[in-house]
């Protein structure tokens, strides 16, 4: 069922935004293994788990079959490792080995075998700021993810995370609305956003509270790993296109 609401902007452009939570991470695996937080391995910037990589492969296959993979004009990703891996895994170019059909290097540069949408990293869509949720340096990120544009991030090292404070839901929601307005000011017509569960949920809740009280509660529930929920913004309305319910 579609939901229509007043949107937080004034524009004649039409924009479709696909919100994607990162695939299953090692920190998710620890939470499933140990209910007691004190027994869990603490990851500063966790990578995807084997299940997460499987989810990425399946989502890429599904999006390719549906034609969505070719329609996406831009991918915006959080600069944390699990979102970068999800973004490149789903939307990046497979790499062709120029020497042994395995390494994918030519003169030290990885060579894509077909075009992919630009992938840019933004601090605006990263997870709730708190202890243990810091990103790597931009130099490290560029080295590991050469397909991603990190030019929007000004600081080499992470100065946003707080060692002893947890960002409030209100702060996350405000950041989410700011991010949505930034997307609406861009020229692209169809954008994928790869982010985190809390950020995505609080952004949708803020859209409901501030711009459309009729959005169904079902659409505001926590995201599953690698789940996609899509919205269409057109002039002064936002239409919920649906979700794929990819949950663990």
Query: Which residues are the active-site residues?
Result: 22, 127
Q: Which helix (H) or strand (E) holds 19?
A: strand 14-21
Q: Could you give the CA distance from residue 91 to residue 74 in angstroms, rounded to a whole number? A: 9
| SS3 at position 109 | strand
What is the pairing mode between strands 228-234 and 95-96? unpaired
Among 42, 10, 18, smallest CA distance to 29 is for 42
Q: Are 48 and 239 in contact (CB under 8 A)?
A: no
Q: Could you give the CA distance from residue 242 to residue 14 in angstroms, rounded to a whole number? A: 17
What is the pairing mode between strands 228-234 and 14-21? antiparallel
Q: Which two tokens stand for residue 12?
A: 């004649």
Angle at 126 between CA 121 and CA 131, to 5 degrees: 130
């Amino acid at each position: 069922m579609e939901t229509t609401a007043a949107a937080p902007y004034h524009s004649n452009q039409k924009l479709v935004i696909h919100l994607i939570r990162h695939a299953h991470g090692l920190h998710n695996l620890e939470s499933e293994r140990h209910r007691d937080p004190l027994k869990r391995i603490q990851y500063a910037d966790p990578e995807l788990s084997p299940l997460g990589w499987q989810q990425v492969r399946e989502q890429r296959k599904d999006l390719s079959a549906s034609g969505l993979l070719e329609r996406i004009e831009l991918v915006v990703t959080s600069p944390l490792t699990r979102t970068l891996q999800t973004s490149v895994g789903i939307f990046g170019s497979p790499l062709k080995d120029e020497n042994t059909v395995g390494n994918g290097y030519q003169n030290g540069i990885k060579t894509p075998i077909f075009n992919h949408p630009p992938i840019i990293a933004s601090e605006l869509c990263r997870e709730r700021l708190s202890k243990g949720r810091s990103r790597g340096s931009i130099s490290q990120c560029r080295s590991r993810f050469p397909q991603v544009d990190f030019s929007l991030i000004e600081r080499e090292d992470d100065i946003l995370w707080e060692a002893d404070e947890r960002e409030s839901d209100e702060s996350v929601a405000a950041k989410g609305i700011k991010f949505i307005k930034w997307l609406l000011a861009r020229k692209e017509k169809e954008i994928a956003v790869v982010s985190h569960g809390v950020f995505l949920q609080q952004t949708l809740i803020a859209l409901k509270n501030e711009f459309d009280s009729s959005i169904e509660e079902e659409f505001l529930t926590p995201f599953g790993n690698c789940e996609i929920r899509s919205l269409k913004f057109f002039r002064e309305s936002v239409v919920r296109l649906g979700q794929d319910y990819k949950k663990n």
